[in-house]
Structure 1
C-alpha cells in the first residue's frame, strides 16, 4: 500500500502500528527489492489449515470409533445421548476451529471494534453461534473451510504477483565496469551514468545503456515481450535484466539503477494497484453496506419469530446463522481484484504496462482509437531526402545552423536532420537560448541571429507571408514532410524528409476494425502527407496540421461522436492528447519520458499489432469479471432455494461459499495465460520517394 503523510509528524512506525490495530502487519518496502519472508510468512497459513483439517478428520474418526458408525460421525449432534460428542472429540474440533480461524480472528475483532463488520466477522459470529448451540462439528467444518478459502485467496494473490516478483530478481547485483584497460566488479546501484560496462556471453545486462562496442543477440522477452532475441550493435539501446547472447558487448550506462526500464516496470505495476477499476470500487462500496445489512437481517430472523410467535429459539437462531453465512460476499469481493491483478500481470509479462484496473476497464470500453502519425503509424526514423538552400547559400552553411538547433530537440524529424548532417561531417554553429515551440518547430540564437526551423505553418508565423508555396508543392512528394528554416523573415532552405509506414500498421488497423473499433489519424503534418499515410494503412478519418491543443480538441470530438476514445502517441506534443483520452497509450521504442508519464498504458515494444491484442485482452478480462459476478450471485440464489425447502446446514453454506470462491478465483487466474501472439514481422513499407 502507499501512504501519503507528513513524514516529520507521522512516520513508518506509526503507520505500522495503525495497520496492526486493524489486524494486519505492515513493513516498509525498501527500494525495488521484494521483502524477505520468514518460514512462518511463507508456510504458516498452510500449516494451520492443514492442522485444522487433520484435527477435524481426527474428531470424525474418534467419534466414529466411539459410535461404531461412520454415518453417525458425519451427523455429529450436540445431544448427549448414546452417541453424544465426548470431550476428546470436542477438544479436537476446538483445535480445528482455532487453527482454521487463526489468521482471520484479529481482522474480525478489528472490524467489530470499528462497527464495520466484514466477512471475517460474519464467519466468526457464525462459528461462535454454532459452538453456543453445541454444533461442534459444523463449527469445525465451517472454520476449516473458511481457513482453506483464505489459503486459496492468499495463493491466488501470490500467483498473480509471481511474474512481477521474478522481474525483481532478474537484474544482476553487480556490473563489470571498465576503466581504461582494467575491469572491476561493483554493485549495480553504484554504476554512474556514462560508465563503460562490459557484458559477457550468457550474462544478464546490469543496467540500461547504449552499445558502444561489439555485437550480439539479446533476449529481451522478460522486459519487452519479444519472443525472439534481437540483434544489437553500436548505437542500439539495451535494457537491464535482459540476457546477452554469444558475443561480448560494451555499453555506456544511460540510466541509474533506480530508473532503468525494468525498475520503472516494477514501479508502474506496483502503482497500478492503487488505480482501482470502477467495478472493483462498486463491489467494495456494495460490500461495505451489504454485510452490516445482512447482520441486521440475520439478527431479525434469529430474534423476531421467537419473540413474536413463541417459536423455538434454537431453530431460528440456526436459521439466522445460515443467512449470515450464505450472505457472505467472499466470492463476489475476491473475483474482481483477482481477475484484474492477473490481467495486468499477464500484460506486463508481454511488455504492456497498464497503470491500474481503471485503465484495464477503459481499454475494454473503447469505441475509437486515435493514432498519432510520426512514431506510431510511421517508424519515427525519418531520413532527409534533399535540402534545397535558398538565397545563394550552400548546403553546408544551412546544415551548420540546422544542426545547432536540431541537436537540442527530441523530435524524430530533428533526429533525421542530425543524422544527415553528421553523415556529411558538418560541425554545429554556436547556439544559445534554445526554445521548442510545441506542434510548430524550434528556434535558438545561432551566431547572434534567431534561427528557426519548423512547419510551413510556423514559417508563415515567422515571416508573415505564405512561404514559397510553389517551391513547397514542387519539392514535396506523397508521404513526405517539408521543413522550412530561416532567420527573422528570411527563409534559408527547404528540407524534404521521408518516413516509413510501419509494416504492421495496416494489419493492426484492420484488426482494430475487426474488433468493432473506429480509427482516426491525428498529425501536425500537412494534409497531403497525412492523407497518403492514412490511405496506406486504411484509416478514413484524417485530421492534419494539428497543434497539441488541436489534438486535444480532436480527441474530445471523437469521444463526443463515438464514445470512449483511446489515443496512441509517443512524443511530447502528444502528451496533452494522451491525458485527454479515456485511455492514453504510449507506444514504446522512441516514446519520450513525458509521453510515458502522461499515458495510462505503456507499450515497451513499438509494435502496433499489440494495440488490438491489448484491447482484446481487456475485453476478455471484463467478460471474466461479469462471468464471476454471475457465478457468485447464482451460488447464493441456489443455496437460498435449499434453505427455503429446509435442506440447508451451516457446513453446506460454507461449502457453497467456498466452492463459489474457488471457482471465481481459478476462473480469474485464467487471465495469467499468455495472450495469443501476433504475426511475424515483415519488411517496412517505404513511402513513395523515401
Structure 2
C-alpha cells in the first residue's frame, strides 16, 4: 500500500529557522517517509503516518498548532501582548527598568543589580537558551546559537545590563518577524474565507443546508440576492448581476443568464438563481487559486535561494570571526582580554542574520498575496522576478488585443437586392457554418430583423467559402478569389475590397455564378483597454511590443498601427508563433507571451514568462501559464509588471541594506566602538526596516 500525502495548516510558525527545525523533527518520526514545509503559506505535507499530536509535539518548541487542510482554522483571539513569548519579553523589560534603578543607586556590582538583570535574562531568554544550548551541543549554528553564546558570554564578563537588554531586543526582533509573516500570509487567509463553507442544496423535493464538502456534481444550488456562491456551477434558472471581484479583480458586476458559468466566492447582487453544481469543493476555481498561490509562495525565487545559501555559510563564519576577534589580540599581541572578548560577543550579536534571512520571503509572499487579491495569479517567486526583468511583450491578437468576437462593419450592395435581403440570404447559407465570421453575420441579421430563409443543398468550399440553394437560386458566399473563378469583379468594387482590407476588415462577397450581389465586411473589434495597456507598457520602459497573429498582413498591420505596437508578425501558424518567440528570446532576452492559454500553449511555454488571459474560465490557462490574469482583460498587465519590478527593487534593497549595515557595524570593531547595545540595535533596526520595506508591497495600487 502506498503512503498517502496528508496536508496540514499551521498556526504559530514564527521564523524560518523554527520552520527548518520543525521539518527536521517531523522527519525524525519513524513512521514518516518525507515532509515538505511551505513557510510562506504556513502549510505542511507529510508522506506517511503521523498523528496531529505527534506533529504538534514536533513543533512544541515554538508552540506550533496543526490543523487538517480542509478544516477552517479557529480565529486566534490572542492579542499581540497575550502571546507567551511576548508577555515574557515585557516582564523581562520590567526587570531591566528595575535593574537600572538599582544600578544608579547601588552600582553595577551590587548583588541586587546583578540579581535583577539575571532574572530579566532568565525570564526573557528561557526559550532562546533552551534551543540555543541544545543546538550548541549538536554543533548546529543558527541565530539562536549565536545569541545564546553572546548573552552567556556577556554575563561571564560581568556585562549583566547589556546581556539583559540584548535578550529583550532579540525577543522584540523575533516578534516583529512573526508579525510580518502573519501579515503577509493574511492574503491567503482572506482568500480562504471568500467562499462560504455551507451551501443551500435542493435534491428532489427536499431543500437542505449542507457543508460544501458534501455537495455533489449536478446538485442544484439555490442562491438568494445578497448571498455568496459556495460552489462553481452553471445557471439553470434566473438571472442576476454577480460581483466577481474576488476571482477576477474586476469590480464591475457581470450579468449572468441561463447557461452562464458562475464561481464560488462571488457575490449574487440582485436576482435569485438556481445553479447546477459542476465542480466539487476541492476543484472550484477559488480552491485552485488558493492552491496555486500557496505553491507559488513555497517556490524559492533565485534571490531567496542565494540568501539561504549565503546564510548557511555566513552564520558559522561569524562564529569563527567572533572567536578570532576575542582571542587573537590577547594571545598574539598581549592585549587585555576583557575588551576583546567583549568585542567578540558584539560581533556575534551583530552577525545575527535575521534581517537577511527574512529579506526575500516576506517580500515575495506579500507581493504574490497582493496580486492574487487583485485577480492576478503569479505561480512562483521565480516568475515574479522574471516579470520584473521583461524587455519585450508579445501578444496573440484574437481574443487578447481584440474581443475575439467579429462584428459586421459594412454592407455594400451592387444589385437590386436591399441590405436586409443580402443579410437574409447570407444568414441562410452561414447558418450551416461554425466559423466565427458566420456567427457575426447571423447576429447582425437578428439585430436587423432580416427575413429568415431556408437554404438547401449546402456545400462548403474548403478555404474559400460555401454555396447553397435559396428559393431555387444557387448563391455563393466567400472570399473574393472564390468569385474570380466565376465572374470578373468590377474595378470600383475591387478598389473598395482593397480599401476595406487595408482597414483590417475581412471581406466576403455574395452572389450567383453570373453576378456579384454585394459584399459584407467583418472585423474583430479591438478591446477598449488595449490601447492604454500598450501605452502604459511603453511608459514602464518595455523596449518592444510585438503582435503575433494568424490573420492576413493587411488586418494585422491595421490593428498594430491603431494600437501603437512596435512590430506586427502576421499569417502565423502555431509553430510560427513558437519560432517568433524563440527569435525574440535570442535577440532581446526576457520575453513575455500573452495569449488565451489554449492554442497559444507552445508559445506560452517557450517564453520567459507565459501570461494567460481569462484564467477564471479555463483550467488550461491556469495550468499552462506562469501568470494568469483571471479577468478576461489586459488592464491588469501593466500592474503585474509594475508590481514585479517593485518587488525586485525591494528585495535588492533589503539584501543590500542587511549586508551593508552588518559590514558597517563589524568595521566598528577595529577602533573598539562596537558595543553590545549598538550591535543589537543594528540587528533589530535592520530587521524592522526590511520588514516595513517589504510590507510596502501591500500598498501597490491596482491602476486600470
Q: Do both share a fold (TM > 0.5)?
A: yes
Corresponding residue number in structure 1 for 2:58: 20
Shift in alpha-carbon separation, 1:577–1:55, aligned structure 2, 3 A: same
Q: Does 1:90 align with 2:118?
A: yes
Cα distance in structure 2, aligned partners of 1:568 and 1:621: 21
Corresponding residue number in structure 1 for 2:293: 269
Question: Out of 122, 141, 148, which is 2:172 matched to?
Answer: 148
Question: Out of 364, 368, 373, which is 1:340 matched to?
Answer: 364
Corresponding residue number in structure 1 for 2:18: none
Tell me by how many angstroms 1:336 deviates.
Answer: 1.7
Corresponding residue number in structure 1 for 2:320: 296
Residues 482-536 of structure 1 deviation map (CA, whole Å, 9 limit, x = unaligned): 899xxxxxxxxx9986421101101111111111211000122222222222122
Alignment of 1:53-132 (within 5 A): 53-62=90-99, 64-65=101-102, 68=105, 77=108, 80=109, 85-98=113-126, 101=128, 105-106=130-131, 108=132, 112=136, 115-132=139-156
3-state SS of 2:113 partner = coil
Shift in alpha-carbon separation, 1:123–1:5, aligned structure 2, 3 A: same
3-state SS of 2:628 partner = strand
**Aligned-pair RMSD on alpha carbons?**
4.2
3-state SS of 1:382 partner = strand
3-state SS of 1:521 partner = strand
Shift in alpha-carbon separation, 1:306–1:152, aligned structure 2, 3 A: same
TM-score by structure 2 length? 0.77
Question: Out of 568, 574, 599, which is 2:625 matched to?
Answer: 599
Corresponding residue number in structure 2 for 1:246: 270
Shift in alpha-carbon separation, 1:558–1:147, aligned structure 2, 3 A: same
Cα distance in structure 2, aligned partners of 1:111 and 1:396: 82
Tell me by how many angstroms 1:599 deviates.
Answer: 0.7
3-state SS of 2:360 partner = helix
Shift in alpha-carbon separation, 1:142–1:590, aligned structure 2, 3 A: closer
Given that 1:112 and 1:121 are in contact with CA atoms closer than 8 Å, whether structure 2 keeps it comes out as yes
Given that 1:56 and 1:93 are in contact with CA atoms closer than 8 Å, whether structure 2 keeps it comes out as no
Shift in alpha-carbon separation, 1:56–1:133, aligned structure 2, 3 A: farther
Tell me by how many angstroms 1:565 deviates.
Answer: 0.5
Question: Out of 403, 419, 430, which is 1:379 matched to?
Answer: 403
Given that 1:12 and 1:28 are in contact with CA atoms closer than 8 Å, whether structure 2 keeps it comes out as no
Corresponding residue number in structure 2 for 1:619: 645
Cα distance in structure 2, aligned partners of 1:243 and 1:627: 40
Shift in alpha-carbon separation, 1:305–1:109, aligned structure 2, 3 A: same
Corresponding residue number in structure 2 for 1:202: 226
Q: Does 1:509 align with 2:572?
A: no
Cα distance in structure 2, aligned partners of 1:650 and 1:381: 69
Given that 1:455 and 1:483 are in contact with CA atoms closer than 8 Å, whether structure 2 keeps it comes out as no
Shift in alpha-carbon separation, 1:204–1:281, aligned structure 2, 3 A: same
| Structure 2: runs of 5 or more not aligned | 1-6, 9-22, 24-31, 36-44, 412-424, 466-477, 485-493, 510-518
Tell me by how many angstroms 1:643 deviates.
Answer: 3.4
Tell me by how many angstroms 1:335 deviates.
Answer: 1.7
Shift in alpha-carbon separation, 1:229–1:279, aligned structure 2, 3 A: same
| Matched positions, count | 615
Question: Out of 81, 84, 87, which is 1:50 matched to?
Answer: 87
Corresponding residue number in structure 2 for 1:523: 549
Corresponding residue number in structure 2 for 1:632: 658
Cα distance in structure 1, aligned partners of 2:581 and 2:372: 26
Question: Out of 164, 170, 177, which is 2:201 matched to?
Answer: 177
Tell me by how many angstroms 1:309 deviates.
Answer: 3.0
Tell me by how many angstroms 1:548 deviates.
Answer: 2.0
3-state SS of 1:128 partner = helix
Q: Does 1:500 align with 2:525?
A: yes
Given that 1:130 and 1:138 are in contact with CA atoms closer than 8 Å, whether structure 2 keeps it comes out as yes
Shift in alpha-carbon separation, 1:500–1:179, aligned structure 2, 3 A: farther
Tell me by how many angstroms 1:676 deviates.
Answer: 4.0
Alignment of 1:274-293 (within 5 A): 274-293=298-317
- Which stretch of structure 1 is more off in the superposition, 10-19 or 54-63? 10-19
Tell me by how many angstroms 1:49 deviates.
Answer: 2.5
| Structure 1: runs of 5 or more not aligned | 388-392, 407-411, 428-446, 457-465, 485-493, 679-690
Alignment of 1:477-556 (within 5 A): 477=501, 478-480=503-505, 498-517=523-542, 518-556=544-582
3-state SS of 2:593 partner = strand
Tell me by how many angstroms 1:112 deviates.
Answer: 4.9
Cα distance in structure 2, aligned partners of 1:151 and 1:483: 70
Given that 2:80 and 2:86 are in contact with CA atoms closer than 8 Å, whether structure 1 keeps it comes out as no
Given that 1:46 and 1:151 are in contact with CA atoms closer than 8 Å, whether structure 2 keeps it comes out as no
Tell me by how many angstroms 1:578 deviates.
Answer: 0.9
Q: Does 1:579 align with 2:605?
A: yes
3-state SS of 1:85 partner = helix
Residues 113-148 of structure 1 deviation map (CA, whole Å, 9 limit, x = unaligned): 665522222212212222332433222221221111
Shift in alpha-carbon separation, 1:6–1:641, aligned structure 2, 3 A: closer
Residues 12-43 of structure 1 deviation map (CA, whole Å, 9 limit, x = unaligned): 52997799399668777644555457778x86
Given that 2:318 and 2:347 are in contact with CA atoms closer than 8 Å, whether structure 1 keeps it comes out as yes
Q: Does 1:11 align with 2:53?
A: no
Corresponding residue number in structure 2 for 1:681: none
Tell me by how many angstroms 1:9 deviates.
Answer: 11
3-state SS of 1:503 partner = coil
Cα distance in structure 2, aligned partners of 1:455 and 1:268: 45
- Which stretch of structure 1 is more off in the superposition, 548-557 or 249-258? 249-258
Tell me by how many angstroms 1:109 deviates.
Answer: 5.8
TM-score by structure 1 length? 0.78
Tell me by how many angstroms 1:10 deviates.
Answer: 4.9
Cα distance in structure 2, aligned partners of 1:111 and 1:426: 86
Cα distance in structure 2, aligned partners of 1:285 and 1:455: 62
